[in-house]
Chain A
Amino acid sequence: MAGLFSRLVKRTGASILFTIDGEAVEAREGDLLMTAILLHRPALRRFEFGESSRAGFCMMAACQDCWVLLADGRRLRACSTPVEPGMAVIVDGDPNG
């Protein structure tokens, strides 16, 4: 699946492995969770009130559009949270389990 974001500046930080809907993917140290996901996927989560997805909006922790769900039940605001090794993000999976 093509990501929405594209990197313009090469990152030299350490590799960080995490998963999106069970698929292992790579990010770099210094990537926000939002960046890490959108470099691989076109969206962050499903919208609760319709058949559509969301990919964030303001990127400054104000609009609250970029909440993502982790498999461990945590809900994180992706634009203000650094990606961490081992995070298991649910983008298109069924949040009801």
Chain B
Amino acid sequence: MTERLTTDVTIIGGGVAGCAAAVALRRVGLKVVLLEKGACGAGASGVNFGGVRQQGRSLVELPLARRSRAIWDKLNEMLGEDVEFEATGHIKLARSEADMAELERYARDAAEHGLELQLLGANAARADLPWLGEKVVGASLCAEDGAANPRLVGPAFARLARRLGADVREHALVNAAAREGERFETRTDALAVDSRFLVNAAGIGAGKVASWFGEEVPLGPVVPNMLVTEPLPIFVTRSVGVCGGDVYVRQVSRGNVIMGGGRGWGDAELLHSGPTTDQSLTGMRKTLDLVPALRGAHIIRTWAGIDGQMPDRIPVIGFSATTPDLVHAFGFSGHGFQLGPVVGEIIAELIADGRSPSPIEPFAITRFAEASVLPAAAAGVEH
């Protein structure tokens, strides 16, 4: 028998963005029903690298990343639990003079957005990280970047949303959603939710949701491949990326070294994904070039979650172009974890105030209407 619910806002998708939106919407007094196909925070936002990184982002994302970074400082207090956020600093390594020139250029541009980056020569980089491999010619350090435990953040937001009165339904896969008059009707196998607003934060499933409202978006899957070692004595004191983004490494405080690089396999229809052996082995080899000290270590686990990716590698955030009161937030292209908290706030602002103080114009869904003028994809693919 179908259970019927009536609410102000229905959110499709219980990732960090969706759950943070539920929290922010409850804070402005709106009634919320959140529908998550599996468990909250167990999709792309739960199985990513855990990078809380501003450095290297597309410049149009930086204002959002700056604002989100401020939230990360208060996150433990806000959520009432430790999500293992540490501002270890993020260091991006140059392996050629061309890489170094790219880092210098980026540092100048980022400074205009208030992001201070410290450029290091080869010696200074080695003084900071004595174990660096020989290929490194220089680096750029963002001291306030860091990492958190992705497995904890989404679920913590979901529990906070519940405590604030949101109706969070897990294992509730949305089959259909439609605009009926001034309202939305959203259906799962067991539920029919009637709401004034609808939020599409469905990750890899968001393209289908958008299509229900006549908006075809070029959302494809991205499946970052991840590996983790056994616990080792602490030596990788920073989160490490490289120009080109083909490998990235960090060590958690318990000693396990996490490395990412390349792509796993994924089935966007079945919402099914996993790591790919070739990519795992390549990732190991590339990591060894950067961190030769890992040569005796063992990989104990590999995984790959599935996220939605846009051709220009920046998300869609904002109102639908076809349907009033429908808000999209998807296509984070494998680097939405750091942005999640602020995207929740922006969704709430759009719904409560009709606008957000953050500059979200670059993320408009309409940018795909004229496919020939797509902005160039950002070079880095670090997640």
Contact = CB atoms under 8 A, between A and B. Distances in A.
Nearest to B254: A49
Interface of A: 48-49, 67, 69, 72-75, 95-96
A67 B296 contact: no
Interface of B: 230-231, 233, 254-255, 295-298
Contacts of A74: 296
B255 A73 contact: no
A69 B297 CA distance: 10
A49 B234 CA distance: 13
A75 B296 contact: yes
Given A75-B296, A75-B297, A75-B298, A67 B230 contact: yes
Contacts of B296: 69, 72-75
Nearest to A74: B296
Nearest to B293: A73
17 contacts: A48-B231, A48-B255, A49-B231, A49-B254, A67-B230, A67-B298, A69-B296, A72-B296, A73-B295, A73-B296, A74-B296, A75-B230, A75-B296, A75-B297, A75-B298, A95-B233, A96-B233
A73 B295 CA distance: 8
Nearest to B297: A75
Leading 3 A-B pairs by shortest Cβ distance: A73-B296, A48-B231, A96-B233
A74 B296 CA distance: 5
- Which label, helix, strand, loop or mixed, suits the secondary structure of the A interface? loop
Contacts of B233: 95-96
Contacts of A69: 296
Nearest to B298: A75
Nearest to B234: A96
Contacts of B255: 48
A34 to B, nearest CB: 17
B264 to A, nearest CB: 24
Nearest to A48: B231
Nearest to B231: A48
A90 to B, nearest CB: 11
Nearest to B300: A64
Contacts of A49: 231, 254
B198 to A, nearest CB: 46
A45 B297 CA distance: 15
A67 B300 CA distance: 13
Contacts of A72: 296
A67 B231 CA distance: 12
A49 to B, nearest CB: 7
Contacts of A48: 231, 255
B47 to A, nearest CB: 23
B359 to A, nearest CB: 46
B346 to A, nearest CB: 40
Contacts of A96: 233
Given A75-B296, A75-B297, 6 more contacts: A48-B231, A49-B231, A49-B254, A67-B298, A69-B296, A73-B295
Nearest to B292: A73
A49 B255 CA distance: 10
A48 B295 CA distance: 19
B122 to A, nearest CB: 24
A13 to B, nearest CB: 28
A57 B152 CA distance: 31
B336 to A, nearest CB: 32
B300 to A, nearest CB: 8
A73 to B, nearest CB: 4
